[in-house]
Structure formats: structure tokens, C-alpha cells
Structure 1
Amino acid sequence: MLDDTDRRILRQYQATPEAPFAELAERCGVTATTLARRIERMREAGIVRGVRGVIDWSALGYSVEVSLRVTLDKSAPRSFEEFLEAAREVPEVLEIQTFLGQVDVRMSIIARDLAHYQSLYREKLLALPHMTDLEALMHVARLKSDETLPL
């Protein structure tokens, strides 16, 4: 599937995706044409799904991050679908994960400050459908945040 050259390209590409292809190619020991062709092949195979800008939300004034653990009413036929549909509409919800077990959903929420979070909690989060239990965990520190793969 992937050879050593592909892995080298992926390592360099995920480290500095904004670098010009000529520079990446030089670091990978291939021509710019080879680099472009291989990245395109990996895009078509679904290995490279895109390049995105990562914005530091705290630099934009969001100082509060909360994880919510949600248990849903599993007796309602479309509880998961309806909950997820409504939760996706809340702009401050950064991430939604589903689980098997006692906790059904975990959401990451951001807010400008505690007053904003309290308003968000009361007006939008408690209004989400089919919740039977909700536990909020206030983030204190992010000790590791790395999306790079060990290639």
C-alpha cells in the first residue's frame, strides 16, 4: 500500500502542509512532480483527506472549554439521530463523539467565559432532546494535543 517514500512524504506534509511542493519535494528526496503525483494518489485513496487551517480559539477570546458526557433516552426510537442533529447546530460545540456503554455521547464545548458558558448551558445545551443525564467536566489544562501520526 504505502512505501517508504510515501511515508516520508506524509511525515513532511503533515509537519508543514503549507510549505511549497518544491520545498517538500527536496526534503523528501523526490521531484516536485513525483511529490504532487503521490499526494494526489493518496488523496484519491482517501489517505490524505485535505489540508485545513487550525485556529487557536483561545486567541479569539474563548477561554473556557468543557467536556460534556451525555446519557440519552435509549427507549426513544430516534434519540441518537435527533440529539446529534440538534447538537450539530450549536456553534460552540467543537466535537461530538459517540460511545457504547453508560455514557452515549461526549461533546467538547467552548465559551468566551463562565457567564457565556452558563448562558449556553441553560439556553442551548439543556434544550437538546432525549438527554437523561448530563455531566460537565471543566478543562483545566491541555497537556497534549497532537494530530500527527507516527509514520
Structure 2
Amino acid sequence: MTLDEADRAILRALQQDATLSSAALGQAVGLSQPVAWRRVQRLEAAGVLAGQRLEFDLNALGFGVTVFLGVKLAAKGRLALGDFERAITAIPEVQTVEHVLGLYDYRLRVVARDIADFERVLRRRIMTLPGVGNVEANVLLSEERRPGPI
């Protein structure tokens, strides 16, 4: 799908506020409501718009610690990868699982209430998973986000 300037303007507006009505979106990007609605439908059908998400304040919910884990599996192969992926996605504290190329096989984003809670999750849940070899932890100190579209 080729995106034109109107499509890019729609994406920028929706990235700022995904709850815009098609009338408000059209007004923001200089299109009529029906044209804006049709373009959004086309972007969704093409898979460019892949859904909406809510963003939570983890601190307000009691999760004061975020840790990125690099996990290297002890065994390689499709079976080991599949077993690990099935097991790791069942742990609710693990927010993201990324299969990566490099020093580690996986990069995980783990949230916990505090360091003691993280240690419990690490020792009792993550380190006991099938195939886990080496693990490296990096505690998130602060996070800066770059607003705006890619």
C-alpha cells in the first residue's frame, strides 16, 4: 500500500489521539468526515492500523520496578524455543517477549512491585522455565518516549 500525505496526516493525528471521531479526524487533517472514515477503513484493511491500546501508568498501579532481561537458552532448536515461548507468555509480570539476534536469544520486559517482588518472579518463575541458561538484568531508571509517527 502506498501512503500519501493525507494518509500520513491521519496516522499522525491518530497517534496523538486514537479516540478521535471521523468528523474530528477529518477536521484535523482537512478532509470531510466520510473521506476520513473511508481512509481509516482502508488503512485498517491494509493492516497499517493494527488496533488500539490503552497506556497504563505502572507506578499508579503499584508496579514500581521495570527490568529488562536478556535470556540465553541453554539448548537451541525449535523445540526449546517453542517450549520457552509458551512458558514465558504465561507469566503475567512479563509484559513483552522479543526473540532477538545477538548475545541473548530473548529480551523480556518484566514489571514488579519492588525489587523483592522482581527477585521472586525471577527465581521462582523465570529461572525455572525450560531451557533457561544465562540471564542478565537491567533495571529501568527512566524512560523517554519520542512522540510522533515513524
Above 0.5 in TM-score? Answer: yes
Contact preservation (8 Å) 2:11, 2:149? no
Structure 2, unmatched stretches of 5+, are none
CA distance in 2, matches of 1:100, 1:108: 16
Counterpart of 1:5 in 2: which secondary structure? Answer: helix
Listed one character per residue, the Cα deviations across residues 27-63 of structure 1 (whole Å, up to 9, x for unaligned) are 1111111111000001000000111211112210100
Matched, 1:134 2:127: no
Matched, 1:149 2:139: no
Runs of 4+ in 1 over 2 A off after TM superposition: 73-77, 145-148
Amino acid at match of 2:4: D
Q: How many residues align?
A: 149
Deviation at 1:100, TM superposition (A): 1.9
Counterpart of 1:129 in 2: which secondary structure? Answer: coil
Deviation at 1:20, TM superposition (A): 2.1
Counterpart of 1:58 in 2: which secondary structure? Answer: coil
Listed one character per residue, the Cα deviations across residues 86-120 of structure 1 (whole Å, up to 9, x for unaligned) are 00000000111112233111101000112211211
CA distance in 2, matches of 1:57, 1:67: 15
Identify if the C-alpha distance between structure 1 residues 26 and 72 changes in structure 2 by more than 3 Å, giving closer, same or farther.
same
Identify if the C-alpha distance between structure 1 residues 30 and 76 changes in structure 2 by more than 3 Å, giving closer, same or farther.
closer
Structure 1, unmatched stretches of 5+, are none
Contact preservation (8 Å) 2:94, 2:108? yes
Matched, 1:35 2:22: no
CA distance in 1, matches of 2:147, 2:86: 26
1:1-151 alignment runs, 5 A limit: 1-75=2-76, 77-142=78-143, 144-146=144-146, 148-150=148-150
Amino acid at match of 1:9: I
Identify if the C-alpha distance between structure 1 residues 5 and 111 changes in structure 2 by more than 3 Å, giving closer, same or farther.
same
Q: TM-score, normalised by structure 2?
A: 0.92
Q: TM-score, normalised by structure 1?
A: 0.92
